[in-house]
């Protein structure tokens, strides 16, 4: 693997922990959700074939309501086997997890954040095209911060004549063949550019390398600016990662459209006790050593 150097603007740095949807009553729940119900038992123990409806046969409102009832109940009951099997192949490939790893991660997220899902409502269904439905869910529950009401977007996608769930709406994935590191501060690896229904996303495993240097975590309550050759978009961010910790599959979503990503600039990052700083990562591959 090639190594790419990263120059930090101003000073300090730290790391990031994305606790999917559970860390705040205002954050959206984003466990990877979906299922090939023909192979897994749906919540409640019954066998279902509904996800095998042919792509050229239009889904009815009743079909979608039933599918998302199963989806919600699987999350509520902690039926992560069903959720994993029901995920789109693109989503599973992007996460790069075995079923056992996925189940362990979801159980840890739910346990750490003391999450329960209580109720849901389908707010809206939009036909993106014949193979992608955009479904907006209102989800109510409780976590460490108390009751929450979140609006979540889930995509219902057709793969090989079977309807699956995709929490991102993946269209195309481009992996990078280099990594980004600032010694003593952070490392970005397993980086991927993800084109989605919404726009451009960036995914990486991020490690806080400051453990031996500062013995502090680093956090961000600012934003990130995505830049392509002809456009740029700024998106809000909020995360924290402790010394020596790795945030796996951390994903940042934007509505940037157009060509490939050229860079991402992170604003208002705190490395321990210092003042906020910012840094940029170059994604063109031109500065790889």
Structure tokens at 88: 């789109």
Choose the CATH number for 50-166 among 3.30.420.130, 3.10.20.30, 3.30.420.10, 3.10.450.100.
Answer: 3.10.450.100
Taking every pair of Cα atoms in the chain, the longest distance, rounded to a whole number of angstroms, is 59
Quote the percentage of the chain above a pLDDT of 90. Answer: 45
Every domain of the chain with CATH number 2.60.40 lies at: 2-18+173-282
Is residue 221 over pLDDT 50?
yes
Question: What mean pLDDT is predicted for residues 16-28?
Answer: 31
Is residue 127 over pLDDT 50?
yes
What pLDDT shows up at residue 217? 64
Question: What mean pLDDT is predicted for residues 189-207?
Answer: 93
Every domain of the chain with CATH number 3.10.450.100 lies at: 50-166
> What CA–CA distances, in Å, run from 216 to 13, 170, 185, 219?
10, 35, 11, 10
Q: What confidence category does residue 189 fall into, taking pLDDT thresholds of 50, 70 and 90? A: very high
What pLDDT shows up at residue 51? 57
Torsion sign over Cα 71, 241, 196, 223: positive
What pLDDT shows up at residue 7? 26
What pLDDT shows up at residue 37? 31
Structure tokens at 110: 């739910």
Is residue 15 over pLDDT 60?
no
Question: What mean pLDDT is predicted for residues 258-285?
Answer: 85
**pTM recorded for the entire structure:** 0.74
Whether domain 2-18+173-282 has CATH 2.60.40: the reply is: yes
Is residue 11 over pLDDT 80?
no
Is residue 4 over pLDDT 70?
no
Structure tokens at 266: 């992170």
Higher pLDDT, 179 or 210: 179
């Amino acid at each position: 693997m090639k190594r790419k150097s990263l120059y930090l603007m101003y000073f300090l740095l730290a790391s990031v922990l994305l606790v999917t949807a559970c860390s705040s009553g205002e954050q959206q729940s984003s466990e990877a959700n979906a299922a090939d119900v023909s192979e897994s038992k749906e919540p409640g123990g019954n066998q279902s074939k509904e996800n095998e409806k042919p792509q050229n046969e239009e889904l009815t409102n009743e079909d979608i309501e039933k599918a998302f009832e199963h989806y919600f109940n699987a999350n509520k009951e902690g039926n992560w086997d069903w959720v994993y099997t029901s995920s789109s192949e693109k989503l599973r490939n992007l996460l790069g997890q075995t079923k056992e790893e996925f189940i362990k991660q979801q159980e840890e997220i739910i346990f750490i954040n003391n999450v329960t899902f209580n109720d849901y409502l389908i707010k809206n269904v939009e036909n993106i095209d014949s193979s992608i439905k955009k479904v907006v869910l209102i989800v109510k529950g409780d976590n460490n911060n108390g009751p929450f009401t979140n609006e979540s977007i889930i995509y219902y996608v057709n793969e090989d004549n079977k309807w699956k769930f995709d929490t991102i709406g993946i269209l195309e994935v481009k992996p990078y063949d280099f990594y980004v590191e600032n010694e003593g501060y952070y490392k970005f690896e397993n980086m991927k550019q993800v084109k989605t229904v919404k726009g451009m996303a960036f995914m990486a495993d991020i490690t806080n390398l400051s453990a031996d240097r500062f013995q502090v975590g680093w956090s961000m309550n600012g934003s990130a600016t995505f830049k392509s050759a002809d456009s740029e978009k700024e998106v809000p961010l909020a995360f924290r990662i402790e010394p020596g910790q790795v945030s796996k599959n951390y994903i940042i979503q934007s509505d940037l459209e157009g060509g490939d990503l050229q860079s991402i600039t992170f604003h208002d990052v705190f490395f321990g006790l210092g003042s906020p700083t910012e840094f940029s990562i170059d994604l063109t591959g031109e500065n790889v050593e």
